[in-house]
Every structure is written in structure tokens, then in C-alpha cells.
Structure 1
Amino acid sequence: MKVRLNHATANPAALQAMMKLEGFIVTSGLDSKLYEFIKIRASQINGCAFCIDKHTRDLRKMGETEQRIYLLSAWREAPFYSDKEKAVLELTEAVTRISEIGVPQDLYERVRAHVDEAEYVTIIMAINTINAWNRIAISTGMFPAEE
């Protein structure tokens, strides 16, 4: 495999814009493990190997269990996620696949049972940000480094 181009050096201003989004989310108070779950689940749906590799490694460094990382793609069938995590993972799937069914009202209500309006918007921004990163990585040919 060969990287098509280095997006960071090709357009540093674009990278700075993305980093501002990251900075907003990181300083928002959103639980950092939940943010990594959002990143991994969206990246699984989008097929972004680079981001799946990066964010599973990041989550391991944060002390997350291998079991919860491995089962993330089957979170509905695994009893290891909280109700809030499940609602946010379902929202992540809906927003990532927004053209299919949008975000149904019942899903919005399930998420809002766990978060206030401000955190809901932060979660939406987190989902949008990783979807943008996925599209950058895939479009520029980024791939994980071999261990």
C-alpha cells in the first residue's frame, strides 16, 4: 500500500481546522473513553483501518478492557456496555449512516435520557469529527503501520 498524499503537509490550514474540532471535543468534558468508542464504531462502519487501529490502541492505553474493545462492533449483543454507552453507540451509527433513516425521535429521546442538550451537541460534533477524519484518511490512502 502507498499513501496518496500527506494531508497535513499538503494543506496545513485544513489540518488546523480539524484540530480545532478535536480540541473543542477534548476540552468539552465528554468522557474520553466514550469518545474513543464513538471513534472506533464510526471507523468500523466507514471501513477506516487507520482510525480503527489508532483508536483501539488509544483505548487500550486508557486502560479499557480487551473484551469491550473487541466486542464493540457487536455492542447490541454484549452485556458489557452501559445504557448511556449503548445509546451513544446507536446514535453514532445513525449519524454515520444519516442518509438511511436519519436520527429517529425515539433514539434522540434514549440519548437525551442520559445527557443534557449541551452534551448531546458535543456528541454529535464528536461523531461528525471522526467521520471527517475517516474520510480524510481513506481519501488520502492512510493505512495502519505494521507492528
Structure 2
Amino acid sequence: MTTTITESAHSTAPVAPARRLDLDGIAPAFVRAVTALDEAAEAEADRAGIEKGLRELVRLRASQLNGCSYCVDLHSRDAAASGESVQRLYAVAIWPESNFFTARERAAFALVDAVTRLSETHVPDDVWHVASGAFSDDELAALLALVVSVNAWNELAVSTRGWRPKLRI
């Protein structure tokens, strides 16, 4: 097998994988439906009183687990805009080892991890029990809606390479 390298290993130019499918152009009704799902999840979070910062941290964590560069960029910026510190944003990736998060936030992250890794975890009872101790049923439903919604976006973005973040200098 022959491998051809077209860029210098020392190049500083960002390289992104090629877009596989223009989902916006090919399946706009489906993209609108996923957008509606996201808007419904946001409305549930509003109704349940989930803080904007926590919403974005939840979305950021799921996006990290799924390897969605567009969503990691988007939700990092949105979390910062909602008042989250850069230090806490960096620590989301290693939240179990960090002392920067409250018990409530840690319960949310454990739920995000379990739901996002559903095929591996099947959302263990202990994770659900801790989350249900930290959140009301309305809040749990809203968190679950946020996680399902962001996972849908992550699956589409990672599968199609359809959306890429822009480097901001």
C-alpha cells in the first residue's frame, strides 16, 4: 500500500475531513425536524428551569464523547457566552477528576455519559438514582431531551462531516 502525504508534517494550516454528504441540501425536511426536536428540548429546559450554563455544559460533554468538532466548538462558545469560565470548559472533558463542578452538575454529566454511551451502559440504576436525587422529574425529562437532541446532531455531523467549525483567531 502506498501513502501519499500532500501537506508537510510541519504545516500550520488546518486540515478538515471532506464533507461526505450535504444533508441540509439533500434532506432539508429532516434537518428541519431535528431542528424542531432541538427547539422542543430547549423549551423543556426553559419550562423545567435548567440553567443556560448547565444546558451548554451537557451539550458540550455529549459532543466531546461523540467526537463532534462542530458541536464542541459551538457549545464551548455558547457556554462561555452564558458565563462559564474557560477553566471549567476545559475541565468538562475530565469532569470525574475535576473539583470544579457541583454535585448537581456531576450528576448531570454522569447521566450524559450513560445516555450517550447507551449501547455500553444501558443507563445504570445507580446513575439514574443519583440524577433523580439531584433533579426533579421535570428537570430529568428536560436533561434527557437535551442529551437526545444533541446526540442526534452529533450523529448527523460526525457521519456526514456536514458541518465544520471555523477557526477564530
TM-score (norm 1): 0.93
Equivalent in the alignment of 2:33: 17
Question: How far 1:6 moved relative to its partner?
Answer: 2.8
Contact 1:26 1:32 in 2 (8 A): no
Equivalent in the alignment of 1:102: 122
1:138, 1:90 → 2: CA distance?
22
Bigger fraction of residues in helix: 1
Q: How many residues align?
A: 147
The equivalent position to 1:55 in structure 2, one of 50, 75, 95, is: 75
TM-score (norm 2): 0.81
1:16, 1:102 → 2: CA distance?
29
What SS class does the counterpart of residue 143 from structure 1 fall into?
A: coil
1:146, 1:77 → 2: CA distance?
29
* Identical-residue share of aligned pairs (%): 33
Question: How far 1:101 moved relative to its partner?
Answer: 2.2
Instruction: Give unpaired runs (5+ residues) of structure 1.
Output: none
Larger C-alpha radius of gyration, 1 or 2?
Answer: 2
1:5, 1:146 → 2: CA distance?
22
Question: How far 1:33 moved relative to its partner?
Answer: 1.3
1:88, 1:44 → 2: CA distance?
15
Equivalent in the alignment of 2:138: 118
Equivalent in the alignment of 2:11: none
Contact 1:8 1:15 in 2 (8 A): yes
Question: How far 1:132 moved relative to its partner?
Answer: 0.7
Contact 1:36 1:55 in 2 (8 A): yes
2:64, 2:145 → 1: CA distance?
18
How big is each residue's C-alpha offset from its partner over 1:76-109, in whole Å with a ceiling of 9 and x where there is no partner?
1111111111001001000111111211111111
Equivalent in the alignment of 1:43: 63
Equivalent in the alignment of 1:138: 158
Equivalent in the alignment of 2:108: 88
What SS class does the counterpart of residue 144 from structure 1 fall into?
A: coil
1:61, 1:102 → 2: CA distance?
33
Q: Is the aligned partner of 1:5 residue 2:10? A: no
2:167, 2:64 → 1: CA distance?
19
Structure 2 letter corresponding to 1:4: R
Contact 1:39 1:130 in 2 (8 A): yes
